[in-house]
Structure 1
């Protein structure tokens, strides 16, 4: 679920688990002092870019700190899997109060976030919008945790065209840094971990909205193959049109989705369409040019069964690959 786009040597560990490094016990060193608690309220999500592997988020983020107000690390927060280019990521403090529980600070945050989309099931896919918040200094000895009782919420007025928003979730996590960053590890440490808070929002694609516009070329190719089996003349022209329609549809989808999506449902669908076209051409040629010479009656029976067999096999194959 965790995504990290700023370091090829970083491995995101959203839910740390004990690591067995052998028979000798390993003591994990926890950051000293009170935790910095974080909560968020998402107001807008936009620019969902499947080709560039990113989306943009705007939210209100608040922190509570029960320690020394002078040592409050809230101003050092950043989106760890964000994109840094000019003013794309921005933390703006809008309010600060000193309460009985400690310091409370509110920020308005806007950032582009890296998201590695999983599109093998497109357009039947679900995606997790993952935002990981931590301190800019990976060596800071501050523990991060979620605010209570409601650490993460989404504005009821937020609407994503083509998507259904599910229940959001927040939890304390960490990033395992596979390097000592040039500083020796403390006694008892075998792996350097950077504390973080992860915000996850599950979104589900409205599949039926994408079927007609994205797969119209495939539907047309199947229709042309059916017409070629019903019409005795201009059959070659119809087969050629079906090939062009299916190929053009694949090029269209490849232009709006990354190449990884072609390894899933879309790639299998393309294979089924072209195999169906080959089936129509081969069966038609065998029945009309070869089998009719041997047995005209059998040839006529197979000619009648060719269309329903093509439609039935095609629909069954498509049904089997739907995620």
Structure 2
């Protein structure tokens, strides 16, 4: 009788956890949708063609020497590189010294542009800079740990009103040092291209004729990286594995079953809290949140089926109860594995 009371108590606890997580999933999914919703823009007023800045081009090339401090929780990473510029105009009006990382972080000496070399060429001038900066990156982690990311670096002039034609050099616009290794990641081929930053303001100055959005010329560097998923499965999801193992043990061991179920609930909940402190809340709207639901639904299935078979159905049909008892363990394992396979990105 005491065992029956404990079983029903655990059943209600598991049900409450599942309902709470379901409501949280709805809230997180709604929040993620709001965050990804673009701002309202009257695209009918945006000119079809953007006028190119007049004057000689300033061409950029980059050699990335180091990438580190990839911080998923703070949405940033750090980069070090050699940046060179080719200016095809008057050396006195070379704007290279006014370059900056537009999506960088400015706090003390976090971002540095240090010119280390300067040469005059037949067509203008050439400059070489050593650059170090922390960069803002909005990581998308709904597929974690099966996610791919693009480390995006945007370089432009500090003065958004300065009209200079920014572009990339003709050959090898961006390269990554062959000796650069990112633990847990695979580096892919980087790319560079001319881009622009749309400023939804006139900044207090009149816009050019026909313009409704001010565009600041920029050069973008993209470094795709792919996560080694298997390296993160054991340390990040050990609690979920333990919860599944405890549920299997509870179906194999007839005694101390309530304690095993309670341990499975605590293990799964603790794993969720651990990951929630490691990743931003938007990650919980993807694979991790769905996995948590599968684990808790599996625990609820084990508790409910065990109670119905051993207590209620046993008094009605002993043979049917024995058959269902044999099928309970493989059905739980099969449903859990199919559910996990189904949600893997």
Scaled by the length of structure 1, what TM-score is found? 0.92
- Alignment CA distance shift 1:27-1:164 (3 Å): closer
Shift in Å, 1:189: 2.0
How far apart in 2 are the matches of 1:222 and 1:119?
24
Q: Tell me how far apart the structure 1 counterparts of residues 127 and 66 of structure 2 sit (CA, whole Å).
A: 20
Listed as ranges, the matches of 1:163-174 within 5 Å are 163-174=185-196
Q: What corresponds to 1:102 in structure 2?
A: 124
Tell me the alpha carbon deviations over residues 138-178 of structure 1, each in whole angstroms, 9 at most, x when there is no partner. Answer: 00010100111110000000000000000100000001111
Supply the distance in 2 between the matched residues of 1:88 and 1:193 (Cα, whole angstroms): 26
| Higher share in helix | 2
Say if 2:168 and 2:193, in contact at 8 Å, map to a contact too.
yes
Partner of 1:310: 332
Q: Structure 2: any 5+ residue segments left out of the alignment?
A: 1-37
Q: Which of 61, 67, 85 does residue 63 from structure 1 map onto?
A: 85
What pairs with 1:240-279 in structure 2 (closer than 5 Å)? 240-279=262-301
State which of 176, 192, 198 in structure 1 corresponds to 2:198: 176
Map 1:173-252 to 2 at 5 A: 173-252=195-274
Give the conservation status (yes or no) of the 8 Å contact 2:81–2:132: yes
The superposition leaves residues 107-144 of structure 1 with CA deviations (integer Å, 9 ceiling, x where unpaired) of 00000000001000000000000000000000001010
- Rounded Cα–Cα distance in structure 2 between residues aligned with 1:266 and 1:215: 9
Distance 1:320 1:257 in 2: 23
Question: Any idea what SS the aligned residue of 2:85 has?
Answer: strand
Counterpart contact for 2:89–2:123, Cα < 8 Å: no
Q: Does the 8 Å CA contact 2:154/2:219 hold for their aligned counterparts?
A: yes
Question: CA offsets, 1:225-245, max 9 Å, x none?
Answer: 000000000000000110111
1:81 to 95, 103, 109: 103
Paired position in structure 1 for 2:160: 138
1:29 equivalent to 2:46? Answer: no
Structure 2 residue corresponding to 1:148, chosen from 157, 162, 170: 170
**How big is each residue's C-alpha offset from its partner over 1:172-231, in whole Å with a ceiling of 9 and x where there is no partner?**
000111100000111232221000000000000000000011111100100000000000
Q: Is the 8 A contact 1:26 1:188 kept in 2?
A: no
- Cα distance in 1, alignment partners of residues 210 and 294 from structure 2: 57
How many residues are aligned here? 306
State whether residues 29 and 189 of structure 1, in contact with CA within 8 Å, keep that contact through their aligned partners in structure 2.
no
* Distance in 2, Cα, partners of 1:258 & 1:109: 29
The Cα shift of 1:20 comes to 5.0
Once superposed, what is the RMSD of the aligned Cα atoms? Answer: 1.6
Task: Note the 1:281-320 alignment, pairs <5 A.
Answer: 281-320=303-342
